[in-house]
Structure 1
Amino acid sequence: MFSRFLDFVERAGNKLPHPFMLFVYLALGIIGISWIISFFNVSFEHPETGEMEQIQSMVSAEGIEYIISSMLDNFTGFAPLGLVLVMMFGIGLAQKVGLIETFMKKTILNAPKSLVTYAVIATGIIGNLASDAAFVIVPPLAAMVFYALGRHPLAGIAAGFAGVGAGFTANVIITGTDALLAGISTEVASNVSSEAFVTPVDNWYFMLFSVLMLMFIGTWITEKIIEPRLGKYDPSLGEADVKDQKLEEITPEKNRGLRNAGIAGLVYLALVSLLIVPGNAILRGEDGEIVPSPFLENIVPIILFFFIVVAISYGLTVKAIERTRDIPEYMADAMKDMSGYIVLIFAASQFIAYFEWTNLGAFIAVSGAETLTNINFTGLPVIVAFILLAALLNMFIFSGSAQWVLMAPIFIPMFMALQYDPAFVQLAYRIADSSTNIITPLNPYVPMVLAFMKRYDKSAGFGTLFAIMLPYSLIFLTVWILILVVWTMIGLPIGPGVGMNL
């Protein structure tokens, strides 16, 4: 039954156009829908101003002028664009000089035998700093470690893939994902309320706790469900060279690089703390508060400089950086990896701008909020329903940012009308998006992980992979939802000064 469902998802998802073209078609759809609805003089009361608004047609003199005149501003003014590109200067530099890869390998290889599974999952989660690199490094490395310890290598691959994929949105520090999603949320929420703003740290408390939850739950799934199901590994099932594989030790030079990067990072954090901790510190608010404050408002540049400092320290030690010109060249190389994202954002920014200009977004939000209120479907049940819907859609749209661009213009205004903080809505989406990453056939890394599996079991297929990963996905999603419900009922903040309600 589930296999047939996955086959359907794969067929349906493969028929979807490229995300860029998807947003082009959606933008054209907004133009057509606004033109049709404008004939019916549909009006509604704007939730912020209290004034009556009408659906504006884009097939009009004003609409056509807006399409032409706003195109560049829609793109260059799109909040996530600058945030993500700036973050990638630092993270990309750390990745290109080899710091993140070495850190991931060091963490797994040096873990005590009893803590190897924890280390694999934690490294996968934290490794999402390196985005694609984590998918390439962690699962095969985990398989080799498990095999060397006499454990089933497919269980290692499963644990690594679960950490990287299902834990993609969680981390102990602020990442590019935080900046990207917060930018999209702010772009949408600011159209509902001019004061609405979502910062990259608004989900940090919850996501920090999520790292621990995923580590313990993921380890339990691996050792109590996956390994017993796989049984004892038979090396004859794998490729001929499986027995001869060896774990590459971290070189002394790279170990020194990690040490120097750690020292440099601690010195940097100590200096930054001097700008935050004292009561009259310059990064505190006007009355000495942390929330809000210049520190939180400028968290992206602070994190950028942290990654630049540790990356340069590591790069100089291992001689990956020998000249000053190497630094901008590594950054430029990292930006090449972002070219697809930049192209996608051009189309996505037009779609969101059209959606807001026509007032379709506000109309759907107001109508949807009124309907939910009238049927008394509010509170946590509607948030849980939203998570399940997003998890289902993630089976068809793998890109987390692309899916959020589609969902945010509808659900953020709707939930804001019900007095939910946009950062809380974003958090609910992140739970759904992460949990099902590892079981959607549209995940571009699924074939690669399957290739890793075939190295150890030549008969392994997609069915094997999804059967192994399904427990992680379902249990992570269930536990995450339960934690969110309890977290909210207790009234804990999900980030600095941020809770469930506005």
Structure 2
Amino acid sequence: MSSVVAQQKSSRGRIQKFLNIVETGGNKLPNPIIMFFYFTVITYVLSLVMAKLGVEVSYETLENGSIVEKTTGVVNLMSVEGIRNLFTKAIPNFTGHPALGTILIAMLGVGVAEKSGLIDALIKKIVLGVPAALVTPVVIFAGVMSNVAADAGYVVLIPLGAIIFMGFGRHPLAGMAAAFAGVSGGFSANLVIGTVDTVMAGITQPAAQILDSTYTINPASNWYFIIVSTFLITGLGWWVTDRIVEPALGRYRRDTDESGKSEFELTALEVKGLRAAGLSVVLFGLGVLLLTREGAPLGAYAAQGGKVVDPFMEAIVFILGIFFFLPGVVFGFVSRKFKNGGEDIVAGLVDSMKQSAAVIVIIFVSAQFIYAFTASNIGTIIAVRGAEAIKATGFSGTPLMVVFIVATALINLFIGGLTSKWMMMSPVFVPLFMQLGFSPEYTMLAYRIGDSTTNIISPLMSYFPIIVAFAVKYKRKGEDLGVGTLVSMMLPYSVVFLGGWIVLFVVWSLLGIPIGPGTATTYIMG
């Protein structure tokens, strides 16, 4: 028995040594703002060199619902037009960044909720009401479920995870890592069908129709698998957080003295405020339900061409901003934390923007890199070459699908965007795997697994530098905290999630269980 324990300690020691190397090496990288500036410069230089060498690829892709053959070469960003775009597109790149509006609107609501004391009161309620042993799985599960609300989990739940862990006397970075693992690493898991499922089905169907013009795909075609995946990711993330990530971080010492559990006791006014805030949330929820009825302002409707538009999902971030703002105001007045009327509300709004300053700067710089990387077509070259490499492996059957999952995970490190990559890859792989006897829905599922697992370790992922900015808040004196710290924290999740999901995928395949309602893993050519 003692030898087994010794072996486990030795194994954990080797893992920790490796993670320390990753962290040390990663933290030697410049500040994320400077790093993205360097990335942008390198992309411009590479575009010149690769364009002069005539690097190009041919592939099939989706355009207006049809499969078309395209040849794409590297665009020289150092040309007259490229330099012109550098200046003229800088502001649109920034204002069009998907994270900008999401973060600012969500943070406005959260800022008022924080200023009023609502966030602190909720944390106290959680600390008093949730068993300490279940905090980790609750945070991860909430992260997985949050992807129904678009990107809101990144800007609300991840910083909230840090606060919750700190409330339990645990390391806030472990809470942030757990939430990030659920939100991003578990992006292809959930208990309900969301917009991602609808979009992915819409992209996969035309690719399947290359071989079978009558083939249709149900958005719920992966539902059974993603339901089971929700519990798999929650369990694996729980184990990684409590056994690997948090022990490696060590004890977190707060700047203020810790006075024990009593600091989490709610005052009578706070209890009254929470009840009033809860009532305001219920009333707000009923109001939203009324607005989303058929024919109501936020109800889904069919636009020109038969396309179904869902205003509710388009407005979800703004709705979430109000979701925090409204109960924050109610709590502030009922608990008497707001004593100066509207002045306190304005102060909360302004403070939230002050806290977002570093994030806004990172978004501006990273937006320029994302534009350059996309406009140069270097990402497309990487994706297509990766697809060609997979086809050249010579694997067949389920092992080939596993190779496809791993390859997708690697490609995701260099080119983000779930749907943009799939638009390029689906016309290649969906028909290929159909000919090998695999259903389009099964191929789509394999792609989603690979895409999710490396989001959390890719500095090129839109929200990655923003999470670094959130994490810096918990930096202690004498500590380095940068890209390396976040990568080393998230790497165990990425490896374990990928391994665990592959095992589930293989077992599911061998048993021949439907991956969704009426959806098989196999396809028989007609």
Q: TM-score, normalised by structure 1?
A: 0.64
Count of equivalent residues? 410
State the alpha-carbon separation in 2 of the partners of residues 328 and 131 from structure 1.
24
1:247 aligns with 2:266: no
Q: 1:424 to 1:374 in 2, by over 3 A?
A: closer
Q: 1:353 aligns with which of 350, 357, 371?
A: 371
2:357 is aligned with what amino acid? S
State the alpha-carbon separation in 1 of the partners of residues 109 and 473 from structure 2.
30
What does 1:188-203 align with in structure 2 at a 5 Å threshold? none
Residue in 1 aligned with 2:49? 36
Residue in 2 aligned with 1:265? 281
State the alpha-carbon separation in 1 of the partners of residues 392 and 508 from structure 2.
27
Q: 1:138 aligns with which of 143, 151, 164?
A: 164
State the alpha-carbon separation in 2 of the partners of residues 41 and 431 from structure 1.
33
State the alpha-carbon separation in 1 of the partners of residues 330 and 87 from structure 2.
47
Aligned-partner SS, 1:300: helix
1:103 aligns with 2:129: no
State the alpha-carbon separation in 2 of the partners of residues 347 and 470 from structure 1.
25
- Deviations along 1:278-337, one digit per CA (max 9) or x if unpaired, are 444443332599975222222222222222212111122122333113223212211112
State the alpha-carbon separation in 2 of the partners of residues 436 and 65 from structure 1.
30
What does 1:117-266 align with in structure 2 at a 5 Å threshold? 117-119=133-135, 121-122=137-138, 129=156, 131-132=158-159, 134-135=161-162, 137-143=163-169, 157=170, 162-170=174-182, 245-248=260-263, 249-266=265-282
Q: CA RMSD in A?
A: 5.1
User: Residue 374 of structure 1: CA displacement?
Assistant: 3.5
Residue in 2 aligned with 1:88? 107
Query: Is the contact between residue 361 and residue 413 of structure 1 (CA under 8 Å) also seen in structure 2?
Result: no
Query: Is the contact between residue 182 and residue 237 of structure 2 (CA under 8 Å) also seen in structure 1?
Result: no
1:294 aligns with 2:290: no
Of stretches 64-73 and 40-49 in structure 1, the one that deviates more from structure 2 is 40-49
User: Residue 16 of structure 1: CA displacement?
Assistant: 0.9
Q: 1:361 to 1:431 in 2, by over 3 A?
A: closer
- Deviations along 1:336-378, one digit per CA (max 9) or x if unpaired, are 1211111111111111111222222222222222322333676
2:390 is aligned with what amino acid? L
What does 1:334-349 align with in structure 2 at a 5 Å threshold? 334-349=352-367
Query: Is the contact between residue 43 and residue 372 of structure 2 (CA under 8 Å) also seen in structure 1?
Result: yes
Q: 1:44 to 1:436 in 2, by over 3 A?
A: closer
Aligned-partner SS, 1:168: helix
Query: Is the contact between residue 170 and residue 210 of structure 1 (CA under 8 Å) also seen in structure 2?
Result: no
Query: Is the contact between residue 166 and residue 435 of structure 1 (CA under 8 Å) also seen in structure 2?
Result: no
Q: 1:373 aligns with which of 379, 387, 391?
A: 391
1:61 aligns with 2:61: no
Query: Is the contact between residue 276 and residue 331 of structure 2 (CA under 8 Å) also seen in structure 1?
Result: yes
State the alpha-carbon separation in 2 of the partners of residues 69 and 43 from structure 1.
26
- Deviations along 1:228-274, one digit per CA (max 9) or x if unpaired, are x9xxxxxxxx9xx9998452211111111111111110111111112
Structure 1: segments with no counterpart, 5+ residues? 144-156, 194-202, 230-237, 394-402, 452-467, 494-502
Q: 2:69 aligns with which of 50, 54, 66?
A: 50
What does 1:421-500 align with in structure 2 at a 5 Å threshold? 428-432=450-454, 478-479=499-500, 490-492=514-516
Q: 1:384 to 1:368 in 2, by over 3 A?
A: closer
State the alpha-carbon separation in 2 of the partners of residues 222 and 56 from structure 1.
43
Of stretches 419-428 and 475-484 in structure 1, the one that deviates more from structure 2 is 419-428
State the alpha-carbon separation in 2 of the partners of residues 479 and 267 from structure 1.
41
2:94 is aligned with what amino acid? F
Aligned-partner SS, 2:329: helix
Residue in 2 aligned with 1:331? 349
State the alpha-carbon separation in 1 of the partners of residues 229 and 262 from structure 2.
30
State the alpha-carbon separation in 1 of the partners of residues 318 and 225 from structure 2.
22
Residue in 2 aligned with 1:78? 97
1:61 is aligned with what amino acid? V
Query: Is the contact between residue 35 and residue 59 of structure 1 (CA under 8 Å) also seen in structure 2?
Result: yes
1:35 is aligned with what amino acid? L
State the alpha-carbon separation in 2 of the partners of residues 307 and 208 from structure 1.
28
Q: 1:216 to 1:31 in 2, by over 3 A?
A: closer
User: Residue 4 of structure 1: CA displacement?
Assistant: 2.9
- Deviations along 1:437-463, one digit per CA (max 9) or x if unpaired, are 9xxxx9996996999xxxxxxxxxxxx
Aligned-partner SS, 1:44: strand
Query: Is the contact between residue 167 and residue 214 of structure 1 (CA under 8 Å) also seen in structure 2?
Result: no
Query: Is the contact between residue 59 and residue 69 of structure 2 (CA under 8 Å) also seen in structure 1?
Result: yes
Q: 2:321 aligns with which of 304, 309, 320?
A: 304
Q: 1:384 to 1:316 in 2, by over 3 A?
A: farther
State the alpha-carbon separation in 1 of the partners of residues 451 and 22 from structure 2.
20
- Deviations along 1:55-76, one digit per CA (max 9) or x if unpaired, are 2212222222222222222212
Residue in 2 aligned with 1:497? none
1:166 is aligned with what amino acid? A
2:101 is aligned with what amino acid? G
State the alpha-carbon separation in 1 of the partners of residues 159 and 345 from structure 2.
21
1:328 is aligned with what amino acid? V
State the alpha-carbon separation in 1 of the partners of residues 23 and 422 from structure 2.
29
State the alpha-carbon separation in 2 of the partners of residues 290 and 216 from structure 1.
39
Percent identity over paired residues: 29
User: Residue 88 of structure 1: CA displacement?
Assistant: 1.6
Residue in 1 aligned with 2:300? 285
Q: TM-score, normalised by structure 2?
A: 0.62
Residue in 2 aligned with 1:456? none
